[in-house]
Structure 1
Amino acid sequence: MWTQKKKRTPTPKSGFTLIELLVVIAIIALLAALIFPVFARAREAARSIVCLSNLKQLGTAISLYLEDYDETYPMNRQADALHDLGGCTSPSPSSPPNDPLEGSSVNWKREILPYVKSFDVFRCPSNGDAWSTNGYASVPGDETNLLYPKSQWIAISYAYNGSFFHEGVPPCWYGEARTRPRYETEIGDASGLVLLLESRWSFPDLGSWFIPLRGPDSGAQGPFQSHNGACNWLFADLHAKHLKPDAICQMHGWSENYPDPTNGCALLAQEAPEYR
């Protein structure tokens, strides 16, 4: 006997509606917006640790140099075949120090190379200007690179504290006759005086007069390389700290109790937004 088959009721297809998809996408976007900055900060913190390690290695090299040269620091810039020691050439007593050693082929970085294991220690992994020409140099990196083969080029990342260790400070700010190195015995509190700092410029030193200035790439960028808004600083006793530039001013870390006619710390209100 023939019987009529019952028609199956269509099963509703499972899936997301357009509204549900949009909600899911919005939630994912929100989570990404919350998580990605956390990852970025964690990555930058890791790079900061590498940078601190570099600073300490450079500080150790300077310490070995001090032992070999009777507690005399390597000069910021040294005399060479074309540059002799001389007096101050700054236009006024309140100007940054300047002298005949500008453009020398030897600076403190070149002086400590025998104590450094690798050229890599001169480069901070966060520094996007490590191999920059800074808009004026003919070759990238350190200002001396023009006079050396590429295999001996030094990256931009670290600088002397120019407010104390610039070779022109004694004649320009202290009234002495000639440029000279600084001596360990001149430092009263080694734990409070900055020895090395992070830099985006090819000069071997940066002084407090750079505080209101900008980096080579934008108006939001400062002259000192930063990590999550603060910078790494190595002090003369070889301990390192992660601080904002204003903290260095508060501890008189630029020149200790010595004169600094440029008084860059008075211009902290003009510092780059990245440090605020």
Structure 2
Amino acid sequence: MRKAFTLIELLVVIAIIAILAAILFPVFAQAKESAKDAAALTYVKQHGLAAIMYGSDFDDAIHLNLRIEGSSFDTWQGMCQPYMKNWGIMAHPKLRALPSDTSSAAWYYQARSHWASPLRAQAHGTAAPFGYYYFQSTSMTGGLQYRFDGVSGYGGPANAWGVRIPASSLTYTQVARPADTLLICEGGMWDHGMGFVGAQNPFNYFWLNGTWVNSALNVFATTNYIGPHARKRKVRCSGGDDPKAASGFPDCLGALPWPDGMTTLVAVDGHATGVNWRGGITGRINDANNVPWMKWHAPQL
């Protein structure tokens, strides 16, 4: 005679399954996140290869950050796209895919707002007289002023309101430490927020809500530096997802903390890697006058 399971035995089996699920589900979730991190590394590697191919066709010049010619304008993503032939890799794998309607504002913003290439200070009216930007934070730099600069220039008319000044990009051979100089990485908008406060329409839409921190179209950037995906700490967000949100995240409330996770980047020499934001991206290198610079943002030291 076949013996049936008793209620106790069934409960034991269910308990074992629940324990295994509690153990394995986080492992599966972590594996999924790791797969997305690997995809992000592959994406940014392709961005770098496309940028280098662009440079080989344009006298060794690094792409412009933004180009405006009359009513025509584009960011580096569009300039490098002929060498990628895939807009899909401009969407970060940890965020939602680009909208299917390529004529929509949401597609336009998101295609240019998951990855960024740092803008040269020479292209920014406030920073140009100095030749550098600066970053100063008690928690991040001990109150010291760290200088930093980008590699990509601006092609277009000067505009006082947008603090834009025409400036060429650096060439690949002008970069002193190509393996330690950032070319492209995860970012809250196409230029890491290193310039162009309210550039030509539609770019000024990134500033619709006024400040960097609370802008619905730039929700995970800070006042002057990189986001969003290096930022692992969660912040309180309002309900409702803005379909035009550049990062693909809903609008977040309150001031955001500095990032404390990893960011994925490709260097000027073309190698892609993951770098700890605090210890890597903001790492220090001193110039000949012993002035501190951000290691990954000192292209001519």
Give the TM-score range, shorter chain.
0.5 to 0.7
Question: Where does residue 272 of structure 2 map in the other structure?
Answer: 240
Question: Where does residue 127 of structure 1 map in the other structure?
Answer: 95
TM-fit CA distance, 1:212: 8.2
Q: Distance in 2 between matches of 1:225 and 1:116?
A: 29
Q: Distance in 2 between matches of 1:13 and 1:118?
A: 61
TM-fit CA distance, 1:48: 2.2
2:22 counterpart (12, 33, 46) = 33
Contact map agreement 1:160 1:205 (CA 8 A) in 2: yes
Q: Distance in 1 between matches of 2:281 and 2:17?
A: 42
Question: Where does residue 16 of structure 1 map in the other structure?
Answer: 6
**Other structure's SS at 1:110 match:** helix
Deviations along 1:129-156, one digit per CA (max 9) or x if unpaired, are: 7549xxxxx721333x8xxxxxxxx464
Could you tell me which runs of 5 or more consecutive residues in structure 2 were left unpaired when the two chains were aligned. 132-157, 159-164, 195-223, 229-234, 236-246, 285-293
Q: Distance in 2 between matches of 1:195 and 1:46?
A: 23
TM-fit CA distance, 1:76: 0.9
1:49 counterpart (38, 41, 60) = 38
Computed over aligned residues only, the root mean square deviation of the Cα atoms, in angstroms, reads 4.0
Q: Distance in 2 between matches of 1:51 and 1:255?
A: 21
Specify whether residues 179 and 223 from structure 1 end up closer, same or farther in structure 2 by C-alpha distance, changes over 3 A only: farther
Q: Distance in 2 between matches of 1:47 and 1:27?
A: 30
Question: Where does residue 175 of structure 2 map in the other structure?
Answer: 187
* Number of aligned residue pairs: 207
TM-fit CA distance, 1:112: 1.5
Q: Distance in 2 between matches of 1:173 and 1:166?
A: 5
Q: Distance in 2 between matches of 1:115 and 1:167?
A: 27
**Other structure's SS at 2:105 match:** coil
Q: Distance in 1 between matches of 2:56 and 2:281?
A: 27
TM-fit CA distance, 1:161: 2.6
Could you tell me which runs of 5 or more consecutive residues in structure 1 were left unpaired when the two chains were aligned. 1-10, 83-103, 133-137, 146-153, 260-276
**Other structure's SS at 2:178 match:** coil
TM-fit CA distance, 1:237: 1.0
Specify whether residues 167 and 75 from structure 1 end up closer, same or farther in structure 2 by C-alpha distance, changes over 3 A only: farther
**Other structure's SS at 2:282 match:** helix
2:206 maps to 1:173: no
Specify whether residues 22 and 57 from structure 1 end up closer, same or farther in structure 2 by C-alpha distance, changes over 3 A only: same
Specify whether residues 106 and 12 from structure 1 end up closer, same or farther in structure 2 by C-alpha distance, changes over 3 A only: closer
Contact map agreement 1:61 1:115 (CA 8 A) in 2: yes
Within 5 A, what are the aligned runs for 1:150-165?
154=111, 156-162=113-119, 165=120
Within 5 A, what are the aligned runs for 1:62-81?
62-81=51-70
Find the structure with the greater CA-based Rg: 1
TM-fit CA distance, 1:173: 1.7
1:197 counterpart (168, 171, 185) = 185
Specify whether residues 257 and 110 from structure 1 end up closer, same or farther in structure 2 by C-alpha distance, changes over 3 A only: closer
Contact map agreement 2:121 2:128 (CA 8 A) in 1: no
**What TM-score results when the alignment is normalised by the length of structure 2?**
0.56
Deviations along 1:211-250, one digit per CA (max 9) or x if unpaired, are: 5887743569x89999xx5331111111111222112112
Question: Where does residue 256 of structure 1 map in the other structure?
Answer: 298
TM-fit CA distance, 1:126: 2.0
**What TM-score results when the alignment is normalised by the length of structure 1?**
0.61
Q: Distance in 2 between matches of 1:219 and 1:250?
A: 29
The structure that is strand-richer by fraction is 2
Q: Distance in 1 between matches of 2:24 and 2:276?
A: 25
- 4+ long deviations beyond 4 Å: 129-132, 211-215, 222-226
Q: Which amino acid counterpart does residue 161 of structure 1 have in structure 2?
A: P
Q: Which amino acid counterpart does residue 181 of structure 1 have in structure 2?
A: S
Q: Distance in 1 between matches of 2:122 and 2:31?
A: 38
1:139 counterpart (100, 105, 112) = 105
